[in-house]
Amino acid sequence: MQQQLRLIALILITLSLSCGNKNPEKEHDQLEAIAEPEPNMRFGFDFNKYIVKNDTVKNGESFGLILQRNNIGYPDIYNIVEKSKDTFDIRKLQAGRPYTLLCSNDSIQKPVCFIYQPNLTEYVVIRFEDSIHAYREIKPITYKRSIATGAISDEYSSILGALYAQNVQNTANLVFEMSDVYAWTINFFKLPAGDEFKVIYQERFIDDTVSVGIDKIEAAYFKHRDKEFYAFNYTIDSAKNIADYFDEQANSLRKTFLTAPVQFRRISSRYNLNRRIALYGNKVRPHLGTDFAAPINTPIVATANGVVIESTQRGGNGKYVKIKHSDTYSTQYLHMSRQAVRKGQYVKQGDVIGYVGMTGNTSGPHVCYRFWKNGKQVDPFKEKLPEAEKIPDNLKEDYLKFIQPLKVELDNIPIYKTEVKSLDENKNFIS
């Protein structure tokens, strides 16, 4: 008996020691192994809780066909469509656009939610697990500050080329934004070698990785034909969210008139009172306008605010629009494929008024831009045109304080220059 008691005591001591010597790290690892995974949140859902099927809409594929293929019957499909139509017309599914089906996490895998992305920033949710509920949402947008620079050379004779050489995202959008900022001072179609630029801008992203365009240019610097042009975005009326671009001396970059009525234009024929044309026996036939060559249907914009006084078609002018800007100035835009405004309509600078065409007497697609001063046609490039207004005096001190750190930042950004050969060779920064 005594021997049995000793044996029981020995067993208890052994168990006690065994329990006391447990490895806490091993226990922790075991607990972690059975812990729930981190939520995988997308479109407001934890994807870990569903069987997820991602796909794109195929040509000829409909919402009903997608659901039928995933074991949803026609009566249910009809109810879903009817109760969702006020939010989204599912007949407008576009081929190539992505969609996601969230299905029950079991052997049946019955669809309970359909998520469709009609564009990069928006998505439509149709839930039909218990009751049918549809809604639209905008993906959260984040903003990232970026810097781009470049130099025009014989190899890269445009801003587009200089930026492509650096693999800058949203290159085309950035160039359009820059051309808008400098529309009153620089012709972006043909820039001379030696021009340089720097730009600080904000870019919009969804999911922190997919770029959805340029939000705004904060500040820019352009050296054009050895002249320096600064541009700073400044809000002059926060209540109405009105902002514009001004230079380092608080002068507006806007002029009363744009330098041209089309973007990325090439001057094919200038204002010339002594022009001779071989087709007409080499006789003097004055050219009273400036021709900007551009592809058919390129938008033509009003170069200044004003009222349309003619929108018609006549003789060699073809289809044209004429705008009265003031008692002093008027402009005319000839050879349109079609007009976009009517007589008596008020237009603002930059509004589309028509499209490049070949109507009337013309041998190629272009817009003939004519400029009147006091009833006489003149060359706008030789006229000293009025400037736009400066920043109001009560805001000037604040503006100069606001741009000071931005100007310092711009001045200290080195210019990225690419030298000959390929896009991947001989690249360096030169300050």
Query: What would the pLDDT profile of 347-404 be if each residue is shown by its tens digit?
Result: 888 899 999 999 998 888 999 999 998 888 888 888 877 776 678 889 999 999 999 9
Is 2 a domain residue?
no
290-to-110, 148, 243, 297, 421 alpha-carbon distances in Å: 67, 33, 32, 18, 37
Between 116 and 19, where is the model more confident?
116
| Residues 127, 165 within the same domain | no
Could you tell me if 247 and 253 are in contact, meaning their C-beta atoms sit under 8 angstroms apart? yes
Q: Find the mean pLDDT for residues 232-259.
A: 86
Q: What is the mean pLDDT of the chain?
A: 83
DSSP state of 315: G
Separation of alpha carbons 66 and 71, rounded Å:
9
Residue-number span of the structural domain to which 298 is assigned: 266-382
3-state secondary structure of 341: coil
| Residues 126, 196 within the same domain | no
What is the pLDDT confidence band of residue 28, given thresholds at 50, 70 and 90?
A: low
Q: CB pairs under 8 A, 24+ apart, for 57-64?
A: 57/93, 57/94, 57/95, 57/96, 57/97, 57/98, 57/99, 58/95, 59/95, 60/95, 61/93, 61/95, 62/90, 62/91, 62/93, 63/90, 63/91, 63/93, 63/114
| Residues 116, 156 within the same domain | no
Is 404 a domain residue?
no
pLDDT at 269: 73
CATH number at residue 51: 3.10.450.350
Which of 96, 112, 138 delimits the end of a domain?
138
| Residues 134, 166 within the same domain | no
What is the pLDDT confidence band of residue 170, given thresholds at 50, 70 and 90?
A: confident
Is 50 a domain residue?
yes
Which single residue is written with the structure tokens 């607990």? 31
Number of compact structural domains in the chain: 3
| Residues 126, 217 within the same domain | no
| Poorest-pLDDT segment among 60-64, 117-121, 249-253, 281-285 | 281-285
pLDDT at 398: 95
Which of 78, 103, 138 delimits the end of a domain?
138
3-state secondary structure of 120: coil
Could you tell me if 246 and 387 are in contact, meaning their C-beta atoms sit under 8 angstroms apart? no
| Residues 221, 306 within the same domain | no
Q: Which of 356, 364, 372 is nearest to 271 (CA)?
A: 372
Flag whether pLDDT at 238 surpasses 50. yes
| Residues 83, 134 within the same domain | yes
Q: Which two tokens stand for residue 178?
A: 């820059």
Run of H or E including 135: strand 133-138
| Residues 272, 354 within the same domain | yes
| Residues 55, 120 within the same domain | yes
- The torsion angles phi and psi of 96, rounded to 5 degrees, stand at 95, -15
Give the contacts of 216 (CB within 8 A, at least 6 positions apart): 177, 201, 202, 233, 243
